[in-house]
Amino acid sequence: MIKTAVIGYGYWGPNLVRNFSESGRTTVVGVSDLREDRLVAAQRRFPGVQATQDAASLIHDPGVDAVAISTPVFAHYDLAMAALKAGKHVLVEKPITATSEQAMRLIDEAAKRNLTLMVDHTFVYTGAVRKIRELVQKGDLGDILYYDSVRVNLGLFQRDVDVIWDLAVHDLSIMNYVLDCKAMAVTASGMSHVTGGPENIAYLTVFCGGNLLGHINVNWLSPVKLRRTLIGGASRMIVYDDMENSEKVKVYDKGITVTNGPESTYQAMIGYRSGDMYAPQLEVTEALGVEIRHFADCIENGAKPITGGEAGLAVVQVLEAATLSMRNRGQLVEINHEPAIVAA
C-alpha cells in the first residue's frame, strides 16, 4: 500500500483524498492546508487522516511514500521539488508549474532520483478521451485536419492564473495525448473584464506539425457551461460533448472528397459525403480513480506515466507562448522544443 500525503484541501483536494483512499493501491496518511476550516472539514470526512498546516512535516515524514499537490500554481514548484528531494513520488495538479524552466528542473530531479513525477491532466484518463485516441490511432478518422474546442462557463474566477492557464490546459493535454500534437507556434488574444484581474476570456490558435490546426475558446463569463470539441478527420469526424450524460462521443461519417480537374487546380471539384453516425461504448470509471491507479502502477513498476513531467512541460511551453502572444495582441509566437540546459 502506497502511503500518500495530500497538500492542499481546497476545490480539488477532497477528490484526491477520496480517490487515494478508495483506490485499493494507495492510502492517505496526511492532509495539509493553510486554512484551519479546511483541515476541520478534512478530519470530519476522513477521521483517520492526520491534518496539519505544516506541509513540510508531511513531505519529510519517513512514513510517506508519495505526495499529491493541489495548491495554487505559484506553489507547485517549491512543494514538488521539496518532495522529490525528500525521496517522494509526486503527483501535481495542472498545470505542473508556473514556468517551463521550473518544469524542466522537476523532470531532472525526478530522473536523478528515479522517482515518479506525474501531472494531473485528468481528462486524459476519461473513457471518452481514451476512446477518441483509440479511434485516431486505428486510423478511423484518416488524417487529422483540426481540433476545435469551446470550454466556457460562469466562473470559477482564479486569482493567480488567467483563463488560459486554468481551462486551456485541458484541451492542450487532450491534443497532445490524442493527436500527438507537437505545437510549433501559437497565437492568442484575450481580455480582462475585472479591474486588476487576469484575462477571463481568450482564444488560442495552435499550429501543429503538418496541416493540423487547433483552436480553443475559453471563457469564465459564459451564461452557460459548454465542454464541446470537434475533431475533423479526412475520413470521419468526432463531436465530443463532455456535458452529455450519455453518448459523449459521436463519430460522423462525413467529409469531402476533392477531385482535381485536368486543366487546372482551380477546377477542383469538391464532393460532400454524408454517412452514418454512431456513438461508441465508453468506460464510465471515474477518471481520477483511473489516474491514481496508473500513478500507483508507475511507482510500483517503474513505468513511464502517460502524463509525466514531459507532458506537463509540453503544455506549459504552449501556455507561456500563448501568454506572450496575448500580451502582444495576438502576435504569432514560435515554440522552442529544444531541451534547455538547466543550472543546478
Decide if pLDDT at 340 tops 50.
no
**Top-confidence residue, 266 or 157:** 157
Q: What is the mean pLDDT of residues 280-306?
A: 96
Beta bridge pairs of residue 230: 148, 239
| 204 and 175 co-located in one domain | yes
Domain containing 114 equals 2-123+287-309
Residue 186 domain flag: yes
Q: Which long-range contacts (CB under 8 A, 24 or more apart) does 187-191 make?
A: 187/325, 187/330, 187/331, 187/332, 187/333, 188/164, 188/322, 188/323, 188/325, 188/326, 188/330, 189/325, 189/326, 189/329, 189/330, 190/162, 190/163, 190/164, 190/326
pLDDT (0 to 100) of residue 343: 41
- Domain containing 6 — which CATH number? 3.40.50.720
Let me know whether 114 and 167 are in one domain: no
Is the same domain home to 248 and 134?
yes
Q: Which of 254, 250, 249 shows the shortest CA–CA distance to 236?
A: 254
* pLDDT at 209 (0 to 100): 82
Mean of pLDDT values over 318-333: 96
Tell me the pLDDT tens digit for each residue of 151-201: 999 988 887 899 999 999 999 999 999 998 889 999 999 999 998 889 999
- 195 and 216 in one domain? yes
| Number of independent structural domains in the chain | 2
Using the 3D structure, point to which of 278, 297, 320 is the last residue of a domain: 278
Q: Which pLDDT does position 255 carry in this prediction?
A: 80
| Model pLDDT for residues 235-264, shown as the tens digit of each residue | 999 999 999 998 999 999 988 776 765 555
Confidence of residue 275 (pLDDT cuts 50, 70, 90): confident
Cell numbers linked to 7: 497538500
Within-domain flag for 335: no
Whether the per-residue pLDDT at 267 is higher than 70: the answer is no
**Helix (H, G, I), strand (E, B), or coil: what is residue 19?**
helix
Query: For residue 272, what pLDDT is reported?
Result: 82
In a domain, 104, yes or no: yes
Same domain, 220 and 303: no
Q: Are residues 111 and 134 in the same domain?
A: no
Residues 131 and 27 in one domain: no
Check which CATH number belongs to the domain holding 194 and give it. 3.30.360.10
Asked if residue 341 has pLDDT above 50, the reply is no
pLDDT at 263: 57
Mean per-residue pLDDT for 309-322? Answer: 97
Place 42 in a pLDDT band, splitting at 50, 70 and 90.
Answer: very high
Does a structural domain hold residue 167? yes
Is residue 135 domain-shared with residue 227, that is, in the same domain? Answer: yes
- pTM confidence score: 0.93
Q: Looking at the predicted structure, is the pLDDT value of residue 34 above 90?
A: yes
Same-domain check for residues 91 and 152: no
Judgement on whether residues 138 and 112 belong to the same structural domain of the protein: no
